[in-house]
């Protein structure tokens, strides 16, 4: 998938999520460049595997087979122990 298609899917998904009254965290809107510039702040997000997952299962047809998921975490298990 091209990055432009991924970006379009993210915008549409965000609109749908907002229609349910939920707002994604600020890092949901970071570009790849912003993640690179904020490597220290991004590390816990990446380690917790939070963020967007967008796939068309390699079929090249997101409209028919695609799926998106935004993963959030309430905290780290290590912080609770």
pLDDT confidence of residue 1: 83
pLDDT confidence of residue 18: 96
In DSSP notation, the chain reads --HHHHHHHHHHHHHHHHHTT----GGGG--HHHHHHTHHHHHHHHHTT-EEEEE-TTSS-HHHH-EEEEE--S--HHHH-
pLDDT confidence of residue 35: 92
- 3-50, pLDDT tens digit by residue? 899 999 999 999 999 999 999 999 999 998 999 999 999 998 988 889
Spell out the SS3 assignment of 51-69.
EEEEECCCCCCHHHHCEEE
pLDDT confidence of residue 3: 86
The reply to whether the predicted model has a pTM over 0.75 is yes
pLDDT confidence of residue 47: 86
Which of 15, 14, 50, 19 minimizes the C-alpha distance to 29? 14
pLDDT of 78 strictly over 90: no
């Amino acid at each position: 998938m091209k990055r432009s298609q991924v970006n379009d899917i993210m915008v549409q998904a965000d609109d749908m999520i907002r229609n349910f009254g939920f707002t994604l965290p600020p890092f949901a809107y970071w570009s790849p460049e912003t993640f690179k510039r904020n490597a220290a702040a991004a590390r816990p997000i990446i380690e917790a595997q939070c963020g967007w997952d967008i796939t068309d299962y390699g079929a090249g047809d997101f409209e028919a087979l695609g799926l998106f998921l935004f993963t959030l975490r309430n905290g780290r298990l290590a912080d609770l122990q």
